Structure 1
Amino acid sequence: MAEKLKLEVSDEIAIKVESMNKWFGSFHVLRDIDLTVNRGERIVVCGPSGSGKST
């Protein structure tokens, strides 16, 4: 059986985004995005190929 890992997540903010918008020409792809990621926290961005995950 695989060993479980304990993640240490702190209260320290590593990434904070407020009211982010992204346009490609006239196409509004991200609307007013808020995101906070604390140090040690992990997130996943999922979507089909070509959907703009790396944007």
Structure 2
Amino acid sequence: MRMVTKKQVPPLLLALGASVLALVFLLAFQGWIAHGADIFLSLAQAGLSWCF
């Protein structure tokens, strides 16, 4: 008889992945805050600002 066991993700690895994801989102948000107006103006010049 075969027993099917599921491998669980170690909590430390899960916490590390969540931390990396949070850092990526934080850096993206910081970049948007720092350069959001420039991004919007360049999109407006190209006629693509209606997406926002």
Question: Shorter-chain TM-score: what band?
Answer: under 0.3
- Which is helix-richer, 1 or 2? 2
From the CA coordinates, give the structure whose radius of gyration is larger.
Answer: 2
Normalising by the residue count of structure 2, what TM-score does the alignment of the two structures yield? 0.23
Which has more strand, going by share of residues? Answer: 1
State the TM-score, normalizing by the size of structure 1. Answer: 0.23
